[in-house]
Structure 1
Amino acid sequence: MTFSHGPAPAAQERPAASVNQWKTLDKDLKRVSQLERATQFVGRPLVAVGIALIFIVLCGVGASILMGGASGTMIIVAAAAIGAYMALNIGANDVANNMGPAVGANALTMGGALAIAAVFEVGGSLIAGGDVVSTISGGIVDPQMVADPATFIWVMMSALIAAAVWLNVATASGAPVSTTHSIVGGVMGSGIAAAGTAAVNWPTMGQIAASWVISPVLGAIFAAIFLAFIKDRLIEREDKIGAARFWVPLLIGVMCGTFTTYIAMKGLRKLVSLDMSTAILIGLAVGVAATLLAKPYVRRQSEGMENRKKSLKKLFGLPLVISAALLSFAHGANDVANAVGPLAAIVHTVSAHSTANEVAIPFWVMAIGAAGISFGLVLFGPKLIRMVGTEITKLNPMRAYCVALSAAITVIVASALGLPVSSTHIAVGGVFGVGFFREWYAERKARALNLQKGKPLTPEERKRRKLVRRAHFLNIAAAWVITVPATAGIAALLFLVLDRLG
């Protein structure tokens, strides 16, 4: 009898076929998983857009319920929906300037930045937001020229739509632009379409045009000065920790005092009216107190730290987070009223059947602005936050601190001198200022080193040391320059269409 020790041919074939079958199934499952991930990636923006549309619809429905079927309800419903759309775009675009440096410096995660900004923007809007707003955005158009209530409503509606659309386009293009300039351009364009060029206050428009240059230049200069000071007094010192224990508490005190003055001047007008000298005195008192409190904090934080630049960065983390939060509070208190001003003006005109130079902002209108900014920030803000914080130049906590401090100081100095400035332009200008100072400083050191070696600094070496992305510089500058003309043109066309339909 013969025994076979090997498996039968059929037995050999079946496991091989089974293995191949499972390998094929694994490949198919992998393809399905990749397809699912791709679908989720593509669908993510659609979810954000869907949530935004729901918010806009809810604002319109809420306005309808509040009006209770009174005369002109449909106009107010439409204005509320457009105001919500505008607020979403402010959150997506404008707030990035406050949070971008902190995120770029890794002092805050994206989630932390979104949470802090949302809370403080809402707080600034609802607690300290202006309860009275100019209906013609600071005297851009002569109110007597658009005194007819129906014409006035279409002027404001056109301005609001134009500003919101432009902010949406700018956000999609990755350009941080000024909300106030967008509104001003919209009011100017629809005002010209309604009453001609004679209706526009051209000297005021000239001041706004000047702010395109004044704001970023001042922001850049102050940020560069602060960074030069920090390099000289801390980074380049032999005993970095000893220098930090002396200077960092003072820098924290300067930050706290500056932001107290900034908020007292710009963010508390609804709660209490303070002149500049009083605001500065309050800021000085807070600054001294903050310095004294910061000394033991910095000493504890610096214990056991290595004597190197990386250690210094950790000491600026908390001040940077605080500055970002305070900037958001001041932005919510100061800028949201400008954004919802046209909506408040429409509500007043429909209800009172007359126009006014200034109107009170109803709480529900301010609530739309505050909530819309938060939703816009969370849903669409990360794109601009990353651009401002990481794509212009490399930031660390010390550089980001200089940007935040320069934003507050520039507003205070400009207010004292009566210069028109934009907080958006100042913050972005500060980022560029830090980047260009780093370029100059690195090139100077390289040139000195090459001279020691007896070699000149070649153009190729200089090109390699560029630390600011020129493409962003040109794109952002172009967006700033065309903001007012673009919104003016859109608003003028919209007014002609709405006026004819109305």
Structure 2
Amino acid sequence: MTGPAMDTPPPTNAPTNAPINRWKTLDKDLGRIGTLELATQYVARPLVAPGVALAFVAVVAIAAAVFTGGSPDRLAVIAAAVFGAYMALNIGANDVANNMGPAVGANALTMGGALLIAAICETAGALIAGGDVVSTISGGIIAPDALGNGQVFVWAMMAALLASALWLNLATWLGAPVSTTHSIVGGVMGAGIVAAGFMAVNWPNLAKIAASWVISPVMGGVIAAGFLAFIKPRMIYAEDKIAAARRWVPLLVGLMAGAFTAYLALKGLSKIMKIGPGTAVLIGLAVGVAVWAAAVPVVRRQSAGLENRKKSLKKLFGLPLVVSAALLSFAHGANDVANAVGPLAAIVHALGDGQVAGKVSIPLWVMLIGAAGISFGLMLFGPRLIRLVGTEITKLNPVRAFCVALSAAITVIVASWLGLPVSSTHIAVGAIFGVGFYREWHSERRARQLGLLKGKPVAPEERTRRKLVRRSHVLTMVAAWVVTVPATALLAALLFVVLRAVAL
């Protein structure tokens, strides 16, 4: 059957004069290339930080080659400088988080501001008050003469340095802030045992360090919780919060200033001149009284016009918290740079003079490696642990974070007075846990009181749900603290055997 309809051409939606896209295929290819570039950038982004760190280590190796000149032990010094740079990077990535974490978690500092302040203060502390002389055997763990000739000592220090750096790198990757001092002590012990036997170890000193695993966090937690318990009834739950703040905030700020002055005198100035705990406390007391007197009119002016609410109190603690974080970083740079460059300085001294010494002077170029390495490690790898310490253990605000910072300074002073070797890492993290557990206890206590008043006691299931501290972090960190010394000792022993075999 045929008809007119069969002869009609099929209709089209497009007009006959529409332009033809001759570049359609090219546009699709360019789109695919653009997507591929974005994907490549996303995949390559995590490699930027390791790449910069590797470039820093390469620069250190070149600088060590320049400074050693035509020395016959040039390769050994270069290798030691590389290990020291690697150690410094890991100290910055792991240890500095304890100083800046509370301020960032309390929103008193942004992450960028915290990194900048910490880098400046860590470098200043290392270069200004880092000390001209450092103990190379980490608190007398191994007697220098027990290691025999200089070559054995050099390989032992290299093994200790590399083992400590590897352990800190692993701990940072696992999200566990550990003690740098304990890491290097374990490394020296392990290498020393293989090199000179068990009798070369100063076991009483090692027992004191092991005791600090418990003493440091417990003391820091108790003091921080005590300050929070002091502040809550006198300020947070006071009817006239502004009047209470005008009375107590200047006193707390003066106490903080005095504590940090004594802390810095012990940790920084003691490297330059002889200062005992008693003298440091007297200096801190004088500074504390002066700051209290100056803070009274300042706090009165800051609190003018503030509402009678908790949020107003947090504003008054913001600036003191930032200052405390900066001072902690300065003291950390002054104290812990020796953990990175102390063994390196010992190696340089042993190779240059041909003899082993218990204490040596640190060359300026060696100190610069430690200071720069800590700053680079903080900038490149520090944010992860800063967030963990500041936000993932318990919720912090300026008041709670202030208690943590104040506890860190006071605990170091008390421990130094008692002659106890403590870890600043353990103190700071223990103080955060102390604040968190006190919050739990106080919250449950208030809930029970309100429940009894209303005739509705809190059920056990509800109390369990109200936990304010993440238990998983407690287990992870405590396990890392306990394992640090034996792990680095075993690793250093293995590395010492390998390095000595390669050298021979």
TM-score bracket, normalised by the shorter chain, equals over 0.9
Contact 1:252 1:319 in 2 (8 A): yes
Distance 1:37 1:446 in 2: 52
Distance verdict in 2 for CA 1:34–1:254, change over 3 Å? farther
Distance 2:47 2:55 in 1: 12
The aligned counterpart of 2:206 is: 205
Paired letter, 1:257: G
Structure 1 window deviating more from structure 2 (199-208 vs 88-97): it is: 199-208
Q: CA deviation at 1:495?
A: 0.5
The aligned counterpart of 1:248 is: 249
The aligned counterpart of 1:92 is: 93
Distance 2:490 2:25 in 1: 59
Contact 1:259 1:408 in 2 (8 A): yes
The aligned counterpart of 1:4 is: none
Distance verdict in 2 for CA 1:18–1:96, change over 3 Å? farther
Q: How does 1:207-222 map to 2 (within 5 A)?
A: 207-222=208-223
The aligned counterpart of 1:321 is: 322
Q: CA deviation at 1:418?
A: 1.3
Q: How does 1:368-383 map to 2 (within 5 A)?
A: 368-383=369-384
Distance 2:398 2:158 in 1: 42
Contact 2:257 2:284 in 1 (8 A): yes
Q: CA deviation at 1:103?
A: 0.3
Distance 1:326 1:281 in 2: 19
Distance verdict in 2 for CA 1:23–1:457, change over 3 Å? farther
Paired letter, 2:444: E
Superimposed CA distance per residue, residues 306-354 of structure 1 (whole angstroms, 9 cap, x where no aligned partner):
1100111010000000000000010111111132111000000000111
Distance 1:69 1:480 in 2: 43
The aligned counterpart of 2:4 is: none
Q: CA deviation at 1:38?
A: 4.7
Q: Secondary structure of 1:498's match?
A: helix
Contact 1:107 1:321 in 2 (8 A): yes
Distance verdict in 2 for CA 1:37–1:104, change over 3 Å? farther
Q: Secondary structure of 1:306's match?
A: coil
Distance 2:215 2:102 in 1: 21
Contact 2:132 2:272 in 1 (8 A): no
Q: Secondary structure of 1:316's match?
A: helix
Q: How does 1:445-456 map to 2 (within 5 A)?
A: 445-456=446-457
Distance verdict in 2 for CA 1:260–1:22, change over 3 Å? farther
Distance verdict in 2 for CA 1:350–1:240, change over 3 Å? same
Q: Secondary structure of 1:13's match?
A: coil
Paired letter, 2:320: P
Paired letter, 1:227: L
The aligned counterpart of 2:465 is: 464
Q: CA deviation at 1:141?
A: 1.1
Structure 1 window deviating more from structure 2 (184-193 vs 335-344): it is: 335-344
Distance 1:323 1:301 in 2: 19
Q: How does 1:165-180 map to 2 (within 5 A)?
A: 165-180=166-181
Paired letter, 1:484: V
The aligned counterpart of 2:493 is: 492
Distance 1:305 1:445 in 2: 27
The aligned counterpart of 1:53 is: 54
Q: CA deviation at 1:186?
A: 0.2
The aligned counterpart of 1:77 is: 78
Distance 2:22 2:270 in 1: 73
Contact 1:124 1:267 in 2 (8 A): yes
Q: Secondary structure of 1:359's match?
A: strand
Q: How does 1:218-233 map to 2 (within 5 A)?
A: 218-233=219-234
Distance verdict in 2 for CA 1:9–1:267, change over 3 Å? farther
Paired letter, 1:399: R
Give the number of equivalent residue pairs: 494
The aligned counterpart of 1:109 is: 110
The aligned counterpart of 2:262 is: 261
The aligned counterpart of 1:44 is: 45
The aligned counterpart of 2:5 is: none
Distance 1:90 1:462 in 2: 39
Q: CA deviation at 1:23?
A: 12
The aligned counterpart of 1:293 is: 294
Distance 1:462 1:33 in 2: 53
Paired letter, 1:334: N
Q: CA deviation at 1:10?
A: 7.5
Q: CA deviation at 1:25?
A: 11
Distance 1:475 1:312 in 2: 34
The aligned counterpart of 2:479 is: 478
Distance verdict in 2 for CA 1:344–1:28, change over 3 Å? same
Q: Secondary structure of 2:142's match?
A: coil
Paired letter, 1:401: F
Superimposed CA distance per residue, residues 109-150 of structure 1 (whole angstroms, 9 cap, x where no aligned partner):
000000000000000000000211112111111222102111
> What percent identity do the matched residue pairs reach?
69
Distance verdict in 2 for CA 1:152–1:21, change over 3 Å? same
Superimposed CA distance per residue, residues 380-437 of structure 1 (whole angstroms, 9 cap, x where no aligned partner):
0000000000000000000000000000000000111112210000000000000000
Q: Secondary structure of 1:133's match?
A: strand
Structure 1 window deviating more from structure 2 (190-199 vs 106-115): it is: 190-199
Q: CA deviation at 1:452?
A: 1.5
Taking structure 1 as the reference length, what is the TM-score of the superposition? Answer: 0.94
Contact 1:344 1:362 in 2 (8 A): yes
Paired letter, 2:342: G
Paired letter, 2:217: P
Distance 2:32 2:448 in 1: 55
Paired letter, 2:254: G
Contact 1:180 1:339 in 2 (8 A): no
Distance 1:77 1:474 in 2: 39
Distance verdict in 2 for CA 1:23–1:349, change over 3 Å? same
The aligned counterpart of 1:423 is: 424
Q: How does 1:6-45 map to 2 (within 5 A)?
A: 12-13=13-14, 36-45=37-46
Contact 1:320 1:401 in 2 (8 A): yes
Q: CA deviation at 1:33?
A: 6.6
Q: Secondary structure of 1:381's match?
A: helix
Q: Secondary structure of 1:356's match?
A: coil
Q: Secondary structure of 1:269's match?
A: helix
Q: CA deviation at 1:369?
A: 0.2
Structure 1 window deviating more from structure 2 (314-323 vs 32-41): it is: 32-41
The aligned counterpart of 2:121 is: 120
Paired letter, 1:322: V
The aligned counterpart of 1:3 is: none
Superimposed CA distance per residue, residues 267-286 of structure 1 (whole angstroms, 9 cap, x where no aligned partner):
11233322222211111111
Structure 1 window deviating more from structure 2 (138-147 vs 470-479): it is: 138-147
Contact 1:117 1:325 in 2 (8 A): yes
Q: CA deviation at 1:292?
A: 1.3
Distance 2:19 2:229 in 1: 70
Superimposed CA distance per residue, residues 8-36 of structure 1 (whole angstroms, 9 cap, x where no aligned partner):
99784269x99999999999998877765
